[in-house]
């Protein structure tokens, strides 16, 4: 939802930042890798019970996600390899963050279902991303839906800021992820059910718009790195 409604405005806002970072000799892949390192820090901090520190690292994890596309554009290095790295790093980051939450709940809450919640968050988020990636690979449009990666980050941040609400928010994330997955599934299903000629025309039209380079990129988000690496 965030990417679909505000991505253009965000891209325009971070464009100057991308050029500034380029002048420092920092590449988009370096920015993406930094985000993964921040996610590791967040996972360790959350798992150890330092939720405020984990929240800080969570915010720092999201910053590279905002600017890596602008940096790639500034360097003129947008590529399939960059989009692939970006997408893989997103899934790894999600796993680290929810893994850290599971670690924390294992130590602080003895109820098995509580520990399962962050696992369910990751699985359902991965399903949302997979539907987008598979649709892109088939030349169809699997974007959109109720929540995307940015909304999940915001909800998780609220849970870390208010620990008493953490379990409820994790449950909410699971529900919203499944609704989004259902929305995307129906959207792609309807496109795939079109007559062969109409489907072929749609694929050609989509290929022209994306250069067929977005492919399975930014499963959750977002087009190629040139398009911001709309992650996720």
- pLDDT tens per residue, range 190-216: 999 887 655 566 666 655 555 444 433
- Could you tell me the two tokens for 171? 């449950």
Cα end-to-end distance, the chain, whole Å: 10
pTM: predicted TM-score of the whole model, two decimal places: 0.80
pLDDT at 220 over 50: no
Which residues, in sequence order, are CB contacts of 76 under 8 Å at separation 6+? none
Q: Report how far residue 3's alpha carbon sits from residue 142's, in angstroms, rounded to the nearest whole number.
A: 13
pLDDT at 229 over 60: no
Q: Please confirm, yes or no, whether 90 is among the known catalytic residues.
A: yes
Name the CATH code of domain 2-227 (choices 3.40.250.10, 3.40.50.620, 2.40.480.10, 1.20.120.1760): 1.20.120.1760
Which residues, in sequence order, are CB contacts of 3 under 8 Å at separation 6+? 143, 148, 149, 150, 221, 222, 230, 231, 232
Higher model confidence: residue 212 or residue 113? 113
| 120-138 pLDDT tens trace | 999 999 999 999 999 999 9
Is the CB of residue 105 less than 8 Å from the CB of residue 115?
yes
Active-site residue among 29, 86, 90, 136?
A: 90
Hey, where are the domains in the chain? 2-227
């Amino acid at each position: 939802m965030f990417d679909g409604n505000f991505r253009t405005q965000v891209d325009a806002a971070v464009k100057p930042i991308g050029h500034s970072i380029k002048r420092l000799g920092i590449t988009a892949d370096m920015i993406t890798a930094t985000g993964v390192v921040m996610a590791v820090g967040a996972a360790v901090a959350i798992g150890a019970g330092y939720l405020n520190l984990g929240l800080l690292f969570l915010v720092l994890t999201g910053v590279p996600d905002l600017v890596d596309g602008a940096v790639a554009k500034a360097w003129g290095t947008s590529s399939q390899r960059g989009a692939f790295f970006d997408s893989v790093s997103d899934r790894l980051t999600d796993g680290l963050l929810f893994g850290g939450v599971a670690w924390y709940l294992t130590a602080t809450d003895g109820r098995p279902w509580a520990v399962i919640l962050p696992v369910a968050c990751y699985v359902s988020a991965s399903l949302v991303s997979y539907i987008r990636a598979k649709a892109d690979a088939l030349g169809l449009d699997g974007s959109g839906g109720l929540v995307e990666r940015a909304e999940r980050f915001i909800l998780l941040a609220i849970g870390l800021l208010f620990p008493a609400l953490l379990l409820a928010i994790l449950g909410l994330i699971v529900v919203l992820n499944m609704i989004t997955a259902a929305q995307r599934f129906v959207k792609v299903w309807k496109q795939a059910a079109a007559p062969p000629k109409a489907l072929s025309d749609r694929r050609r039209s989509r290929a022209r718009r994306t250069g067929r380079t977005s492919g399975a990129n930014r499963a959750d988000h977002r087009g190629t790195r040139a398009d911001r690496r709309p992650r996720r």
